[in-house]
Amino acid sequence: MPELHTGRHPMHSARAWWLLACFVAIAAVMVPVFNLVPDEDSIWKLPDFLIPLFGKFICYAIVALAIDLIWGYAGILSLGHGVFFALGGYAMGMYLMRSIGTEGVYGNELPDFMVFLDWKELPWFWYGFEYFAFAFSMALVVPGALAFGFGWLAFRSRITGVYFSIITQAMTFAFMLLFFRNDTGFGGNNGLTDFKRILGISLQEPGTRVGLYVVSVIALLGTYLACRYIVCSKLGRLVTAVRDAETKLRFTGYDPLQYKLFVWTFSAVLCGLAGALYVPQVGIINPSEMQPANSIEMAIWVAVGGRGTLVGAVAGAWLVNATKSWFTVAAPETWLYVLGGTFILVTLFAPRGLVGLLESVRLRGRADSTSPTGSEEVDP
């Protein structure tokens, strides 16, 4: 009998820790070195344009982990996580707007879009965003607070399944419409852009780009470890119990509301973090990030990679986005068909995603190699 664990289960095998360390070494050390050290025309040079692209992928991976936690483990499908991501991005964007100072087109203390709208002073909800620490905490607090309020209302009313998913779609759509309005005070459909510097350093410097990228890798590592810590705790098992038999859990003495609310809010905070790291690297945030389709795409990353595995979610985010980057250059008009088709194929033939596929291949391989007579026992 294998060793029986109670309480906290071990997070990783020694081999998995080793693999994780290798990944971090490649992502956080090798990539920056190959970008910064070789000469412009050396074949070893990692092109500059790849750094923000990788940074973007890293942020998407954080989002995928957040969605996997709530969907893969707690069984709650959110089709509105884009709104938490975008709110985190807006909070950071507001800081970056305020850091432009008087270098904008109009040379005014106010952000350009406010001058354009003929506003004379800063709206109250922009106060404090000139401070990085404040803006960064808002990037986490605002999505967290929205998720907490929304989740409390929905979970308390015991709204579950597809109904919950639909409401999350409605939520992100409503926020998109709100942010499209110029009067809302976040730059309308243009959003926030033309950023100049972060923490006093120019965003155009190669060093800044690499720095932001490395910070994102560290954030991804932290997010992954936090998620792994959660799913290996007793709380992790309770959350999957919510997914499988919520009523039973209630009659075992747990309040599912508290458990759902915790993972849901934590998941939203992670998306806020991802959004805050994303915006300085791509240089813009606008309401299209809140499109319902974006949130659906995020769920597809996780479905493709494999729900309830964490690693699968990250792999799914990268695979889908790498394919997207290629397709949107090579054959842009076909991308949505490819995405939809992939989703249908995965749902039909690989409900446990890539990780599930790999596992079943590996299991089959092991069965073949360990028992030469195994072919007789296993049904063809």
Partner 1 sequence: MSAGARVLDSSRVDTHQGGILYVEGVSVAFDGFKALDDLNLYLDEGELRCIIGPNGAGKTTLMDVITGKTRPDTGTIFFGSNVDLTTLEEHEIVNAGIGRKFQTPTVFEQHSVLENLEVAAKANKRVWSSLFGTTSAVVRDKILEVAETVGLAQTLDRQAGNLSHGQKQWLEIGMLLAQDPMLLLVDEPVAGMSQHEVERTGELLSGLAGSHTVVVVEHDMEFIRSIARKVTVLHQGRVIAEGEMDDVQQNPDVVEVYLGE
Candidate ranges 90-98, 216-224, 254-262, 283-291; the one touching partner 1 (CB under 8 A): 254-262
Q: What are phi and psi of 74, to 5 degrees?
A: -90, -5
DSSP 72: I
352 vs 331: CA distance, rounded Å: 29
Type and span of the H or E element at 330: helix 311-330
Choosing from 160, 193, 208, 240, the residue that interacts with partner 1 (CB under 8 A) is 240
Closer residue to partner 1 (CB): 200 or 253: 253
Asked if 319 is part of the footprint of partner 1 (rule: CB under 8 A), the reply reads: no
Choose, by CB under 8 A, the member of 34, 132, 134, 254 that binds partner 1.
254
| 201, β-bridge pairs | 198
Using the rule CB under 8 A, is 362 a contact of partner 1?
Answer: no
Nearer to partner 1, 253 or 372 (CB): 253
Q: Which residues contact 302 (CB under 8 A, 6 or more apart)?
A: 64, 67, 68, 71, 72, 312, 313, 316, 317, 353
Among 259, 264, 301, 318, binds partner 1 (CB under 8 A): 259
Instruction: Report how far residue 134's alpha carbon sits from residue 85's, in angstroms, rounded to the nearest whole number.
Output: 17
Cross-strand pairs, 192? 285
> Least distance from C-beta 188 to partner 1, angstroms?
38
Buried b (16+ CB within 10 A) or exposed e, 205-227: eeebbbbbbbbbbebbbebbeeb
Nearest approach, Cβ of 76 to partner 1 (angstroms)? 16
Among 46, 135, 212, 238, binds partner 1 (CB under 8 A): 238
Closest CA to 66 of 51, 52, 80: 80
Out of 12, 250, 362, 364, name the contact with partner 1 by CB under 8 A.
250
Give the span between the Cα atoms of 372 and 113, in whole angstroms.
72
Distance CA 144, CA 151 (A): 10
Q: Does 2 bind partner 1 (CB under 8 A)?
A: yes
Comparing CB distances to partner 1, the nearer of 4 and 348 is 4
- Cα Rg of the chain, angstroms: 22
- Provide the minimum distance between the beta carbon of 182 and partner 1 in the complex, in angstroms, as a whole number: 38
Provide the 3-class DSSP secondary structure of residue 323: helix
Decide: is 252 part of the binding site for partner 1 (CB under 8 A).
Answer: yes
Residue 182 to residues 158, 188, 192, 289, 375: CA-CA distances in angstroms? 36, 4, 12, 16, 68
**Smallest separation (angstroms) from partner 1 to the CB of 159:** 17
Q: Cα angle at 19 between 17 and 24, to 5 degrees?
A: 95
Examine residue 158 and tell whether it contacts partner 1 (CB under 8 A).
no
Kindly identify the residues of this chain, within the stretch 137-156, that bind partner 1 according to CB under 8 A.
152
Least CB distance from residue 156 to partner 1, whole Å? Answer: 9
Residue closer to partner 1 (CB basis): 209 or 307: 307
Using rule CB under 8 A, residue 8 touches partner 1? yes
Q: Which stretch binds partner 1 (CB under 8 A): 30-38, 241-249, 291-299, 319-327?
A: 241-249
Q: Does 235 bind partner 1 (CB under 8 A)?
A: yes
Tell me: does residue 373 bind partner 1 (CB under 8 A).
no
From 127-135, 168-176, 230-238, 339-347, give the range in contact with partner 1 by CB under 8 A: 230-238
CB neighbour list of residue 139: distance below 8 Å, 6 or more residues apart: 87, 88, 89, 91, 92, 272, 273, 275, 276
**Residue 168 burial by Cβ neighbours in a 10 Å radius (0-12, 13-18, 19+):** buried
Which residue stretch of 177-185, 207-215, 236-244, 315-323 sits at the interface with partner 1 (rule: CB under 8 A)? Answer: 236-244
Cβ distance to partner 1 smaller for residue 149 or 206: 149
Residues that bind partner 1 (CB under 8 A): 1-2, 4, 6-8, 152, 230, 233-235, 237-238, 240-241, 244-245, 247-255, 257-259, 261-262
